[in-house]
Amino acid sequence: MDFLIGNKTLDEIYGSNNVDMKDEMKELAMVDENRGSDTVNMDEFKTLDEIYGSYNIDMNERRKSDDMDGFDLSNRRLKTLDGMMGLNIDDDDEVALDCSPMLSPGTEVSACITNDGSCIPLRKLGSLEVPAIITGMWQVAGRHGEIDMKKAVTDMNFYAFAGLGAFDMADTYGPAEELYGMFRQQYWGHKPVLGLTKFVPRYGNSGSDTRSEVEAVIDRSRNRMGVAILDMVQFHWWDFSDGRYCDSMKWLYTLQKEGKIKELGLTNFDTEHMIKIVENCGIPVVSNQVTYSVIDTRPEKKMVAWCLEHEVKLLAYGTLLGGFLSEKYLGQPEPERTDLTTPSLSKYKYAIDQWGGWALFQELLRVMSEIAAKHKVSISNVAVRYIADKPVVAAVIIGARLGISQHIATNQAAYSFPGLDDGDIAMIQSIVKKGNELPGDPGDEHR
């Protein structure tokens, strides 16, 4: 799909820094070929007692992966990455006080208690209970800077301790699954943690349509993540003209019934093919992961109504527009092409241009800033609640640069206030309506 801004394409506007998300995902999907031969024995990694020392963490009390699911990790081997050295804990971030809530059907309860009283609700997603904010691991794929695995594991512990212990990843996100496995081995908390991964057939070989092919990928993910049963597998398909997506999904369903997968979902499926998976292929999915934000409301064209009727939830990503929905960009000049230093910035700057341009976006930021000040939160908190509080949304996925920076307190603050009132929503929508509806259906940009 070619998008036009005026009479120019994105290539003409951004030149070589333009990120084709289809090509981006293709590259990630081919990474696995180069992984597997270089491994490191997990016994070589220090325990958290050795790492933390003065923090007085009793590792004998932490829940081990073996205890949780009976899966033996003693001989687990993981890929070596450069820079697995040192620890640096960011003391500026608040860490939630610990609590262990129980979830009653149809209710939301506190997943954390922080110094200012904020808490993140748990929501039902099939048989799972997920926090309303899921921690995304896209950034560990390698396009957002080098990853220090030990520091990343440390950060994951703090996220989980703060009630943000559901992690979204994929078999193509670099070492994300291995990193989750390392985290589970060294997890010192007792709250449940979740790993939501994806099955992304290699581009050009979407025909992963035999049991052996599909099961091999699922078993690889189980081994990497150190679990006997995957909490969730979200299915991606590159080319809908290749109808074998139904065959692949049926094998995933078979593996689910055999006990290797708890829940099945979709990722970046448009409405038409999401419906085909459920109604034509007969596969019960609990969610579809799609972009959904203040300005990208494509799910509301057709998808939301069908999902509400059929009890399929949306997992929303791109809700912060790669960070553009924040005070950092309020009152700032339009970024130059050279300022778009990550794939996310390029992608979401493009969405802003499609929607209405930088001047209108500044108007939106000003309104959201007023609302944020009213509730004593940030623009990003307002953006999260605008999407997260929609009935169709189970959770918003917010990416984390694990091992580099933490945003725990910021994420928790999204639930430090009751939510947006009707007046707040009307103010936001009055600006949003001045812009254009983004073209197409969710997921079109990946095909």
| Consecutive H or E run containing 246 | helix 245-257
Burial of 259 from C-beta contacts in 10 A (0-12 / 13-18 / 19+)? exposed
Q: What percent of the chain has pLDDT over 70?
A: 71
Mean pLDDT, the chain, integer: 78
Q: What is the pLDDT of residues 384-434, one digit of tens each?
A: 999 999 999 999 999 988 877 778 989 999 999 999 999 999 999 999 999
CA 413 to chain centre: 18
Overall average pLDDT of the 187-201 stretch: 91
How far apart are the C-alpha atoms of 195 and 203, rounded to whole Å? 24
The residue that leads in pLDDT, 313 or 92, is 313
Q: What is the pLDDT of residues 211-257, one digit of tens each?
A: 999 999 999 999 999 999 999 999 999 888 888 899 999 999 999 99
* Tally of CB atoms within 10 A around 309: 8
What does the pLDDT read at residue 71? Answer: 33
Element (H, E) at 39: strand 39-41
Give me the residue spans of the domains in the chain: 22-321+380-418
Residue 72 has pLDDT above 60, yes or no: no
Only one residue has tokens 């990722």, namely: 267
What's the DSSP call for residue 121? B
The class level of CATH for 22-321+380-418 reads: alpha beta
pLDDT at 97 over 60: no
What is the pLDDT, as a whole number, of residue 173? 86
Residue among 134, 142, 136, 137 at smallest CA distance from 24: 142
* pLDDT at 13 > cutoff 50: no
